[in-house]
Structure 1
Amino acid sequence: MSGGALVTGLAGCLSGDDDPELDVGRNTVIASMPALWDFTRQIVGEEETLESFDIVPVGEHGHDWNPEPATVEDIDHAGGFVYMRDFAAWQDDAAEQLEADDDIHVIDASEGIEFFDSPAEDNDEHWWMDPVYCQRGVDNIADGIVDMDPDNEAYYRDNAEAFNEELQELHGEMQDVVDRAALDTIVVATHDSFQWWYQQYDIQVESPVGTSPDDSASPDEVEEIEGLMDERGIEHVLYDVGEPAQLAESLAEETDAEILPLTPVETQIDGAPELDTGISMEPDWGYMDHFYEINLPSLETALQAE
Structure 2
Amino acid sequence: MSPTRRSFLRSGAGVLAAGAIAGCLDGAAGGGEGVDSGYAAFFTLHEWAEAVSGDLADFEDPVDVGQMGHGWEPTGNVTADIASTDAFVYLDSPEFGWAQDVAATLEADYENIAVIDALAGLEDQLIEGDHEHEEDDHEDEEDDHTEDEHEEDDHDDDGAFDPHVWTDPVLAREMVANIADGLAAADPDNESTYGENADNYRSDLDALDEAFETMVEKADREAAVLAGHNSFQYLEARYGFELHTPVAISPKAQPSQSDIADTIEFVDDNGIDVVLYDRFESPNLAETIVENSNAEETRAISPAAGTTPEWNDEGWGYIDQMEQLNLPALRDALGAE
Pick the TM interval, shorter chain. 0.7 to 0.9
Residue 281 (str. 1) matches residue 311 (str. 2): yes
Residue 257 (str. 1) matches residue 296 (str. 2): yes
For residues 65-144 of structure 1, the aligned pairs below 5 Å read 65-70=72-77, 74-86=81-93, 87-100=95-108, 101-114=110-123, 115-117=126-128, 122-144=160-182
Segment drifting more, 241-250 vs 58-67 = 241-250
Matched with 1:34 is: 43
Structure 1 residues 90 and 71: CA distance shift in structure 2, 3 A:
closer
CA deviation profile, 1:105-134 (whole Å, cap 9, x unmatched): 110000111312266784222211110011
Matched with 2:155 is: none
Structure 1 residues 152 and 26: CA distance shift in structure 2, 3 A:
closer
Q: Give the distance between the partners of 2:229 and 2:57, measured in 1 at CA.
A: 34
Segment drifting more, 33-42 vs 115-124 = 115-124
**Could you tell me how far 1:72 is from its partner in structure 2?**
10
Segment drifting more, 245-254 vs 207-216 = 245-254
**Could you tell me how far 1:39 is from its partner in structure 2?**
0.8
Structure 1 residues 119 and 239: CA distance shift in structure 2, 3 A:
same
* Bigger Cα Rg: 2
CA contact (8 A) 1:29 1:53 kept: yes
Residue 63 (str. 1) matches residue 93 (str. 2): no
Counterpart of 1:248, as a letter, is A
Q: Give the distance between the partners of 1:176 and 1:120, measured in 2 at CA.
A: 32
Q: Give the distance between the partners of 2:329 and 2:206, measured in 1 at CA.
A: 20
CA contact (8 A) 1:26 1:77 kept: no
Q: Give the distance between the partners of 2:316 and 2:119, measured in 1 at CA.
A: 22
Residue 162 (str. 1) matches residue 169 (str. 2): no
Matched with 2:261 is: 223
- Aligned structure 1 segments of 4 or more residues deviating by more than 3 angstroms: 70-73, 118-122
Q: Give the distance between the partners of 2:88 and 2:267, measured in 1 at CA.
A: 43
- Stretches of structure 1 lacking an aligned partner (at least 5 in a row): 3-24, 271-279
Q: Give the distance between the partners of 2:231 and 2:80, measured in 1 at CA.
A: 30
Matched with 1:18 is: none
**Could you tell me how far 1:38 is from its partner in structure 2?**
0.8
CA contact (8 A) 1:120 1:192 kept: no
Structure 1 residues 154 and 281: CA distance shift in structure 2, 3 A:
same
| Residue-pair matches, total | 273
Structure 1 residues 71 and 119: CA distance shift in structure 2, 3 A:
closer
CA deviation profile, 1:164-209 (whole Å, cap 9, x unmatched): 1110111000000000000111211112110011210111011111
- Stretches of structure 2 lacking an aligned partner (at least 5 in a row): 1-12, 15-33, 133-159
Counterpart of 2:219, as a letter, is A
Normalised by the size of structure 1, how large is the TM-score?
0.84
CA contact (8 A) 1:240 1:262 kept: yes
Q: Give the distance between the partners of 1:265 and 1:29, measured in 2 at CA.
A: 21
**Could you tell me how far 1:75 is from its partner in structure 2?**
1.5
Q: Give the distance between the partners of 2:80 and 2:316, measured in 1 at CA.
A: 23
Q: Give the distance between the partners of 1:26 and 1:170, measured in 2 at CA.
A: 29
Normalised by the size of structure 2, how large is the TM-score?
0.76
Q: Give the distance between the partners of 2:304 and 2:102, measured in 1 at CA.
A: 22
Matched with 2:152 is: none
CA contact (8 A) 2:170 2:209 kept: yes
